């Protein structure tokens, strides 16, 4: 098939799926057809349709709204370095996918665009913040789509949508040209894909430092694509279903992880029940405060760029409250929180001197219903103080942050750990519950060792294939093609 034919097919699938699931919020159809018709770089993905997440992935001349009314008119004038690498690999960008406002929530339900729905059951969320990307891949629009992960935002939607999602090691991926790190080094970008092979091949064409990089992951010994077919050897795997942060693990998620542990044991790996020993509640509190500081920072930069004050009506209530908590932080509070996270990082990293991999559920719950976790910060505040108090007074209430933390991480108590440590971590789609909803299993490896995770993922994919599973809503229903 020609690239033009492939792009037309992807566009037809977007037009069929979008009214049902709402994954693509910035169509780029004319641009994709123009690129597909012209000379394409001779890269390994020459002519393959692809989607960008509408957050940070700047494509010159097209909106980048990050799910926010505040950025409704923002159009970048240059490509992000990662987008340049996608283009050089031959990919043809056909659109940008939905994300929660500023990528903050683990569900994809921004006021600006409305919710993206899960292809396995549209009453449920595809997760977030890369929910649009995951829904697009799961529903057969494209084989892979770009996402980002600052607290689980690749792995969460990968679990919810039954696709493969790897968060690479800190320093593995470019973040320029205007940044040297994202979210204090906790966030990194890559793709969600149907297969392990495609994730590895995409990492091969995008990884590597920039001149302005402040983190450098160690160079791989060979292409990541070659690792997928190699045997991982006999691994020492730690396994737990106990949440690291304040939460309770749903029986479906615990059972899926136990089945994965049994699968690993049957493949010859040594599987022990073990977990890093650290204060999960303190970790969650400090990590949440870093999120709030990050939101406050983004608002300050926007105010400088727009030359005006950002008002409450410019943002969703939960985003605004998160930013206001960040603004109330003192410099000592910020630094203490960061230093405590770094202490936890050292504790967790030492755990991997004993084990090769840590296996957990990806999430503490199956995919939530649409609307179930739309404004956790706002709802927690209202639970504490009611609806009539002033915001300034509310944010000074002792213990409020702890209430918010308990609410915020009930769904995602496993994923943020690897963001703080910088370790590679992947959600592998090995389970489905009785309701037919996907349940991912998460594997976290040593810093810089994506190669081992790809070898393990390839082994698991061969032992328990998932690529042929199709959700309730799939493009083949509309186009008559697989």
Contact between 47 and 89 under an 8 Å Cβ cutoff? The reply is no
Q: What's the rounded Cα separation, in Å, for the pair 71 and 340?
A: 33
Beta strands in 208-268 (DSSP E): 236-239
Residue 246 located in a structural domain: no
Question: How confident is the model over 250-273, as a mean pLDDT?
Answer: 98
Q: Cβ(144)–Cβ(193) under 8 Å?
A: yes
- 317 confidence band (pLDDT: 50, 70, 90): confident
Same domain, 86 and 24: yes
Give yes or no for a contact between 119 and 135, defined as CB atoms under 8 angstroms apart: yes
User: What residue spans of 390-463 are helical by DSSP H?
Assistant: 391-395, 400-408, 416-421, 450-463
User: Taking a C-beta distance cutoff of 8 angstroms, is the pair 101, 315 a contact?
Assistant: yes
Q: How far does Cα 106 stand from its chain's mean position?
A: 8
The span from the CA of 81 to the CA of 59, in Å, is 10
pLDDT in tens, 424-468: 999 999 999 999 999 999 999 999 999 999 999 999 999 999 999
The residues with which 237 forms a beta bridge, in sequence order, are 271, 357
Average pLDDT over residues 238-245: 95
Contact 29, 36 (CB under 8 A): no
Q: Which residue has better confidence, 302 or 399?
A: 302
Q: pLDDT value at position 388?
A: 44
Residues 341 and 462 in one domain: no
Tokens 């690498």 sit on residue:
85
Give the pLDDT mean for 54-76.
96
Residue 81, in any domain of the structure: yes
> What ranges make up the beta strands (E) of 16-103?
24-27, 49-53, 92-97
Q: Residue 345 falls within a domain, yes or no?
A: yes
Q: What percent of the chain has pLDDT over 90?
A: 86
Model confidence at 481: pLDDT above 50: no
The reply to whether 128 and 153 lie within a common domain is yes
Chain center to CA of 389: 35
DSSP symbol at 124: B
Lowest mean pLDDT among 69-73, 191-195, 400-404: 400-404
Angle at 81 between CA 218 and CA 425, to 5 degrees: 45
Q: Looking at the structure, do residues 446 and 399 belong to the same domain, yes or no?
A: no
Query: Residue 405: what pLDDT?
Result: 80
> 113-122, 150-159, 321-330: which has the minimum mean pLDDT?
321-330
Average pLDDT for 246-264: 97
Q: Check whether 401 has a pLDDT greater than 80.
A: no
CATH number of residue 430's parent domain: 3.90.1300.10
Same domain, 312 and 210: no
Residue 397 lies in a domain: yes
Cα distance between residue 200 and residue 185, in whole Å:
22
What angle do the packed helices 450-463 and 251-266 form, to 10 degrees?
90
Longest Cα separation, the chain: 62
- pLDDT tens digits, 224-235: 999 999 999 999
Residue 387, pLDDT > 50, answer: no
Contact predicate 408/377, CB 8 Å: yes
Q: Does residue 429 share a domain with residue 404?
A: no
- Is residue 367 domain-resident? no
The domain total for the chain is 2
pLDDT tens column, 87-101? 999 999 999 999 999
Residues 436 and 403 in one domain: no
* Statement to judge: residues 205 and 349 lie in one domain: no
Domain boundary among 408, 433, 451: 408
Residues 71 and 188 in one domain: yes
Same domain, 431 and 403: no
pLDDT score of 407: 75
Token code pair at residue 209: 């430092």
31 burial (CB, 10 Å; 0-12 / 13-18 / 19+) is middle
Q: Which residues are catalytic?
A: 53, 129, 153
pLDDT at res. 392: 54
* Shared-domain flag, residues 179 and 324: no
Is 268 inside any structural domain? no
**CA distance from start to end of the chain:** 15
- Please give the C-alpha separations between residue 257 and each of 114, 159, 313, 368, 451, in angstroms, as whole numbers: 32, 12, 42, 18, 22
Q: Which of 426, 450, 438 is nearest to 155 (CA)?
A: 426
Q: Residue 111: is its pLDDT beyond 90?
A: yes
The yes-or-no verdict on residue 376 having pLDDT over 70 is: no
Residue 382: is its pLDDT beyond 70?
no
Question: SS3 breakdown of the chain: % helix, strand, coil, rounded to 5?
Answer: 40, 15, 45
- Same domain (yes/no): 32, 117: yes
Residues 229-252 as b/e (b if ≥16 CB within 10 A, e otherwise) read eeebeebebbbbbebbbbbebbeb
Report how far residue 297's alpha carbon sits from residue 100's, in angstroms, rounded to the nearest whole number.
Answer: 18
The span from the CA of 202 to the CA of 224, in Å, is 9
- Which residue range forms the structural domain that includes residue 400? 280-354+374-408
Q: Per the domain annotation, does 115 fall within a domain?
A: yes
Residue 146 has pLDDT above 80, yes or no: yes
- Tokens 């690479």: give the residue: 168
With respect to residue 362, please indicate whether it lies within any of the assigned structural domains: no
Stretch (H or E) spanning 334:
helix 331-351
């Amino acid at each position: 098939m020609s690239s033009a034919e492939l792009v037309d097919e992807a566009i037809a699938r977007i037009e069929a799926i979008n009214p049902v699931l709402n994954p693509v919020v910035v169509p780029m159809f004319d641009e994709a057809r123009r690129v597909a018709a012209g000379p394409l770089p001779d890269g390994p993905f020459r002519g393959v349709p692809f989607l960008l997440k509408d957050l940070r992935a700047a494509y010159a001349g097209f909106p980048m709204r990050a799910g926010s009314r505040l950025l409704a008119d923002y159009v970048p004038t240059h490509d992000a370095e990662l987008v340049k690498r996608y283009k050089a690999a031959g990919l043809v960008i056909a659109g940008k996918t939905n994300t929660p406002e500023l990528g903050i929530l683990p569900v994809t339900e921004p006021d600006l665009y409305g919710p993206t729905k899960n292809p396995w059951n549209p009453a449920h969320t595809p997760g977030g913040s890369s929910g649009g990307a995951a829904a697009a891949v799961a529903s057969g629009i494209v084989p892979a789509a770009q996402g980002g992960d600052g607290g689980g935002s690749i792995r969460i939607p990968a679990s919810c949508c039954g696709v493969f999602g790897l968060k690479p090691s800190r320093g593995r991926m470019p973040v320029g040209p205007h940044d040297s790190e994202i979210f204090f080094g906790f966030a990194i970008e890559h793709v969600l894909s149907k297969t392990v092979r495609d994730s590895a091949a995409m990492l091969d064409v995008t990884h590597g430092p920039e001149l302005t990089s402040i983190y450098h992951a160690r160079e791989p010994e060979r292409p990541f694509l070659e690792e997928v077919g190699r045997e991982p050897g006999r691994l020492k795997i730690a396994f737990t279903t106990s949440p690291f942060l304040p939460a309770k693990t749903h029986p479906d998620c615990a059972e899926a992880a136990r089945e994965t542990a049994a699968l690993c044991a049957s493949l010859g790996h040594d599987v022990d029940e073990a977990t890093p020993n650290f204060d999960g509640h303190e970790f969650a509190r400090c990590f949440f405060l870093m999120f709030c500081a990050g939101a406050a920072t983004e608002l300050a930069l926007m105010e400088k760029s727009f030359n005006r004050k950002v008002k409450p009506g410019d943002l969703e209530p939960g985003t605004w409250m998160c930013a206001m908590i960040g603004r109330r932080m003192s410099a000592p509070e910020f630094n203490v929180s960061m230093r405590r996270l770094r202490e936890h990082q050292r504790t967790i990293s030492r755990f991997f001197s004993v084990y090769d991999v840590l296996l957990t559920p990806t999430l503490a719950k199956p995919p939530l219903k649409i609307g179930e976790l739309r404004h956790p910060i706002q709802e927690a505040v209202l639970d504490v103080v009611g609806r009539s108090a002033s915001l300034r007074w509310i944010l000074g209430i002792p213990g409020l942050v702890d209430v918010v933390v308990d609410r915020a991480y009930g769904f995602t108590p496993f994923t943020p750990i690897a963001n703080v440590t910088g370790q590679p971590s992947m959600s592998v789609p090995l389970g489905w519950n009785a309701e037919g909803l996907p349940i991912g299993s998460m594997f976290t490896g040593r810093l810089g060792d994506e190669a081992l995770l790809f070898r393990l993922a390839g082994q698991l994919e061969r032992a328990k294939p998932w690529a042929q599973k199709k959700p309730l809503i799939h493009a083949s229903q509309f186009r008559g093609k697989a």
